[in-house]
Every structure is written in C-alpha cells, then in structure tokens.
Structure 1
Amino acid sequence: MPSADAPLVRGAAIPTAVAGVAAVAAATVLAGAKGLYGALFALLLVMAFFSFGQIAIDRLTRNNPQMMLAVAMCVYMTQILAVGIVLAFFKGTTLFDTKVFGFAVLGLTAVWTVGVVRAAMKAKIFYVVAQSADESVTAPERQP
C-alpha cells in the first residue's frame, strides 16, 4: 500500500477497533454470549469490508488518480450494498443477536467513515507529482 493510503487505513482502523472493543463489551453485558458473537462478527465484517475497500481504491486509481472520486463512490456504495446483503442473509439467524449485530455494524461503519475523513483531512498528501531529474523541463532559449 502506498504511503499516502496507510495513514488513512490506520486513521480509521484504530478508532474502529477501539469502538468495536467497547461494542463487544457492552453487547456482552447487555445481551450475553449471543450479543458478544453479534458485536464481534460486526467488528470483523466492518474492518474487513472497509480495509479491502481502501486497498481496492488504491489499486484502481494507481494509474489514473483523476478517477479517485468516482472509484471511491462506487467502492463505498458496493460496500454498503454488501453489508446490506449480509444483514439480509443473517436476518433470521439464531447464531447471534441480530439487533446487536445490526446496531454494531451501523455504529462501526460510522466510526470508520469519520476516521477516514479525519485522517484524510490531517494527511499531508501531495497532489502535485514532482518531475524526475531526466524529465525536467528546461526554459526555452532566448532568440537574439
């Protein structure tokens, strides 16, 4: 992963992990073992989907940075759709508390999104690509 994207993932993953641990602890106290499993599955789901999403954005825009916004919006919508499909798939499960799972996914998604935005606002990402020495442009010579 390029150095510009690593701080974005770190800036989102760390707060999401902290919020996830808090969600797992709260779910365990409020809903027991099934709440623990629901919150833990939500944490793993959000961390995996959004980490892979950032990697996908990096790979898809590496050769064409002008497409960053379009690719990011498509990847984000795909992630939200995929989370919705997972929510629908596990709608009637008894493996874990589905309400805890749903609320944890919503909360952790919000934390991840805020973390990425905050990290992007604080990152010092250059938007001008410097030329290498052999590509340097010389000033045109003056005609007498």
Structure 2
Amino acid sequence: MTDSDPAATPVKRGVALSNRPFAVMLRAGLRASVWMLPLAAAGCWIFRGAEGGWSAALGAAIALVFFSGGLLLMDKMVGDNAHAMMAGALAIYLAQVIFLGIVIFGLSEASWLDGPAFAIGVIAVTLVWQAAQVVAFIRLRQPVYDVPAGSSESSERQP
C-alpha cells in the first residue's frame, strides 16, 4: 500500500470527511431538530391545549426553515475567497433577520396564536439545532490555518 492509495488511509471514528462543511452541519441540525417539532407540539398541546400545540408546531417549523435556509444558502456559495464568503454570510444573516422580522410582525396580532407556546417551539428547535451544529462542526476537524505549499502531512510524520 502506498500513501496515494485512498483505501490505505485510515478513517478515524467520529470524524466526518467532507469538503462541504455546511452540508454536514445542515444534515446534523435537521437530524437532531426534526424530532423537536412533534415533541414541542405535543408538550404544548398537553399543557396549553390545541391552540398551544399548533402554535408550538408553527414556531418549530419556522425555526427549522430559518436555520435550514441559511445553511443551504451558505453551502451553495462556499468558495475560496474568504472575504466574499464572509460578505455572503452577512448578507444571508441580514436576509434571515428580515425574514424573521416579517414573520413576527405578521403574527403579532394573530388571535389564534398562543405566543408563549410559539416561543417554546422556536426556542426548543433553536437550542437543539445549535448544539447539533456545533457538534457537527467540531467533528469535521476543519483546519484553521493554511498548510504551507510544498509540505504534506505524510512528510511531517517521518522522522
């Protein structure tokens, strides 16, 4: 086996090997958070009635769309230029804040919406999503520096 043989490369357990970190974080966030929608809805349905259940489900769904949309857009615009990526990330964040402001403004006078249950749904999904996203990013083991040209990991291991 040679160093260039991909089958010879050991894969460490728990390490996601991907060149698309936003896709990995999106998948992890969705996997962890999608169960929170029915859980929050059921809990609020029990303690706040049907209106609370539907409100919590709506809040959880809006949070899922909010976070998924941002990571989907970031995954599409990933490139080599760090400045352009940062500007794009800020533009996406601004669009998300505007979207959330429109939703909150639109729902602020809704008599059918149970505000505390809606907030519980949003907060529950947000906490689970953020925790899953952080864990996924840590497991990606992305380098935080550029490897100097001409050096390789295999040459650094040799005595």
Q: Among residues 79, 86, 111, which one is paired with 2:96 in the alignment?
A: 79
Per the alignment, residue 19 of structure 1 pairs with: 36
User: C-alpha displacement at 1:25, in angstroms?
Assistant: 1.2
The SS at the match of 1:5 is helix
Per the alignment, residue 118 of structure 1 pairs with: 135
TM-score, normalised via structure 2 length? 0.66
Unaligned runs of 5+ in 1: 137-144
Closer, same or farther: CA 81–110 of 1 in aligned 2, 3 Å: farther
User: C-alpha displacement at 1:66, in angstroms?
Assistant: 4.6
Closer, same or farther: CA 99–110 of 1 in aligned 2, 3 Å: same
Contact 1:46 1:109 (C-alpha < 8 Å) held by counterparts: yes
Q: Among residues 32, 35, 39, which one is paired with 2:56 in the alignment?
A: 39
1:23-52 deviations in whole A, cap 9, x for unaligned?
111111011111111111112211112111
For residues 68 and 115 of structure 1, the distance between their equivalents in structure 2, rounded to whole angstroms, comes to 23
Q: Name the count of aligned residue pairs.
A: 130
Which residue identity does 1:121 align to in structure 2?
A: I
For residues 44 and 87 of structure 1, the distance between their equivalents in structure 2, rounded to whole angstroms, comes to 14
Contact 1:87 1:102 (C-alpha < 8 Å) held by counterparts: no
For residues 61 and 85 of structure 1, the distance between their equivalents in structure 2, rounded to whole angstroms, comes to 27
Per the alignment, residue 120 of structure 2 pairs with: 103
Closer, same or farther: CA 77–117 of 1 in aligned 2, 3 Å: farther
Identity across the alignment (%): 24
User: C-alpha displacement at 1:21, in angstroms?
Assistant: 2.5
45-54 or 63-72: which moved more?
A: 63-72
Per the alignment, residue 139 of structure 1 pairs with: none
TM-score, normalised via structure 1 length? 0.72
113-122 or 71-80: which moved more?
A: 71-80
Closer, same or farther: CA 108–73 of 1 in aligned 2, 3 Å: farther
For residues 39 and 132 of structure 2, the distance between their equivalents in structure 1, rounded to whole angstroms, comes to 16
Per the alignment, residue 155 of structure 2 pairs with: none
